[in-house]
Chain A
Amino acid sequence: MADLSRAVVLRLTREEKELFSSNKPWLYPLLDLTEHLARTRETVGDCTLYDKIIGRAAALLIVRLGIRTVQTDVLSSRAVSVFDTFHVSYSATSIVERIDCRTEDILADVSDPEAAYRIVRARSLAAQASASPERQAVVIENADIKRGENTVLRGVSITIGRGERILITGANGAGKTTLMKAVLGIVPVAGGSVSVLGAPVGKRTNRRTTRIGYVNQESVRVDFPISAYEVVAIGVATARISRDEKRRRIRDAMEATRCGTLSRRLYGTLSGGEKQRVAIARCLSQNPEIVLLDEPTASLDAEGKKEFIALLEQLSAMTEITVVLVTHEFDGMDRTGWRHLILTDGTIVPEEEISA
């Protein structure tokens, strides 16, 4: 009788009872398993996992899931070191030096399973966005964007997948803010096109843009009397929902960003970090699909920056919100799991091309 267990790429069993299986390519089976376990809240420490090929990326994801026993056909030496470090028992038909995969190379020096998960997830979202229009949050195609009479950005093309985290860096005046405003439809596109959630961004705002939360530099400097609660309430100003629902959304957003205790404080009297938490709460109350952050860490100290990035990590890890962060400074920022693009000479290039 044929061994049917080998027909699948990945299979999770407990005492020979199958709990999960998948035959998708790349690391998708492990990502699907991660989502499955998050939904079912099942613990898998006593389960056995079969995965056809296990490299360092897969090994780190398996460790993150808490699986202690693994079987495989092909195991890389890089994966062996991970299993040895985290005391995972394994059996493999063959052990190879390395697996020819870009993700494997990217994770060569990563030993934190959580960081590995963030990187793999980001790469999977980017890949899905390229393959499927439904998975695209923002598509900018060969766009020329002007500020006044000057063309600030030329032939810019970016595809951002839903749930992706994008870091766009560039010097002051490189056109980062202009790019954000083009996505919002505030700045017109002179050539090419900008689409958000499948619809082109026109001169006028449309309902698609209401699903974009926007945190800019100017709003952080507001010193006019406005309470933190009122700032968050701006996120639901145009929402066609009941008053109770609005209150609930505001409360949930403030609790999520740990600024409930600030609600009656004057926004102008808050610290830089508190203001940013309130600004993020405003975006969350908007129930956004995309959050655009323009220099959000400019007014924060090192600790504040760390805390802010941690908030964004959780934001995009626990929801499927796409986060686009533009900044001229990213020193000290853990860029794990962020796709990094660089704005230079009026166009945008991936970091890898700059470093190559």
Chain B
Amino acid sequence: MSALMVLQYAPVMRGFLVLLAAGIVFPLVGVFVLRLNLITLRFALMHSSLLGSAIALAAGFNPLLIGMLANTAVVLSIARLRTKTNQNVGFITTFFMVLTVGLAFAVIYRFNVSTNDSLQILWGNIYAMTPFDARMTAVYAACVVVFVVLLFPRLAAVLYDKDVATSIGINEPLVYTAIILMVGLTITFVMRLIGALLLDAILILPPLMAIAVAKSMRGTFILSSIFGVTVAIGGFLLAIFADLPASSGVTIFGAVLFAGVHIIAARNKKRKPFQEDKRDAEISPNATHGSDRFDLRGVRRGSE
């Protein structure tokens, strides 16, 4: 237990609390990354965040803020090009992915950003978060929760199918832009926390585990959060007790949990092929299997 005494230090406690908040909230964003196939976008935003941080280090600004600005600029450019050119998002993001990483290393080289600081951008450090960074992360995490909860029905429609979403009156390009903006900002925060190369542990692994076991879209979001906070706490404790960097602890714990969840999910699928939920009957007490008639009475009763 003496290892936990490190929590008495303010930077460690601050880092732990931020990691906890990130573990609960940021996997929600990972659900969008996976469903909308934003993996290439994720790389492009990691690179633009790296560019922003490199510029900030070279100019002496806050890397978190400049990283957020860089990502916002890239996201808005991608959204604009998507609407204007009707090109595949993967095609557009590949361009930005290559351009931004090239510019990032050009800035690091030309402005003599120290190797140590550069590595910090890549590997992150939860203990290096300033009180301002921590507050920013907390406020942003709250914004993500509000966004997902309030807009859930519309987000579910966009995640289901963009054309169907448009058909029910949703401004799909606007919602899509908001989603990728959220992805961009989240990547900036997560890079600051555990670094660019280990970002997947907190953003992607939890929703991947959730997808393996969830029975609904709502369940996918909830389980992503649960797996995310488990990875955050478990990884933090592993790092402390095994004397590892926090990012390594989070990533290793996340990978082991990921493997475990998938093995259990695969076994369950083999053991229990689909069994109809008894509660289903409550939805439609009159529904009968095998009937070839459809009852359309009452369908048009509703009014808007």
A residues with a Cβ closer than 8 A to B are 148, 181, 184-186, 204-207, 209-210, 212-214, 216, 218-219, 222, 224-227, 229-231, 233-241, 245, 248-249, 251-266, 269, 282, 284, 286-287, 292, 307, 310-311, 314-315, 318-319
Contact = CB atoms under 8 A, between A and B. Distances in A.
Contacts of A231: 160
Interface size classification for chain B: 35 or more
A319 B170 contact: no
B298 A256 contact: yes
A286 B166 CA distance: 13
A335 to B, nearest CB: 20
10 contacts: A205-B170, A210-B167, A212-B167, A233-B153, A234-B165, A240-B304, A251-B283, A258-B291, A261-B284, A315-B296
Contacts of B146: none
A314 B168 contact: no
Contact of A263 (B168, B283, B288): B283
Given A181-B163, A263-B284, A265-B274, A233 B211 contact: no
B168 to A, nearest CB: 5
B156 A234 contact: yes
A319 B296 contact: yes
B167 A213 contact: yes
Contacts of B84: none
B299 to A, nearest CB: 5
Given A240-B304, A264-B277, A311-B294, A225 B167 contact: no
Contacts of A258: 287-288, 291, 294-295
Q: Give the top 5 A-B pairs by smallest Cβ distance, nearest first.
A: A260-B284, A237-B153, A210-B169, A214-B167, A219-B161
Nearest to B221: A225
B217 A261 contact: no
A253 B287 CA distance: 12
Contacts of B274: 265, 269
Contacts of B168: 210, 234-235, 237-238, 286
B216 A225 contact: yes
A20 to B, nearest CB: 24
B157 A256 contact: no
Interface in B1-50: 34-35
B110 interface: no
Nearest to A226: B217
Given A225-B215, A237-B153, A265-B274, 18 more contacts: A181-B163, A184-B167, A186-B166, A205-B166, A209-B166, A219-B163, A222-B161, A224-B217, A225-B217, A226-B217, A230-B216, A233-B156, A235-B168, A241-B304, A249-B302, A252-B302, A264-B280, A319-B299
A258 B166 CA distance: 26
A239 B304 contact: yes
Nearest to A313: B294
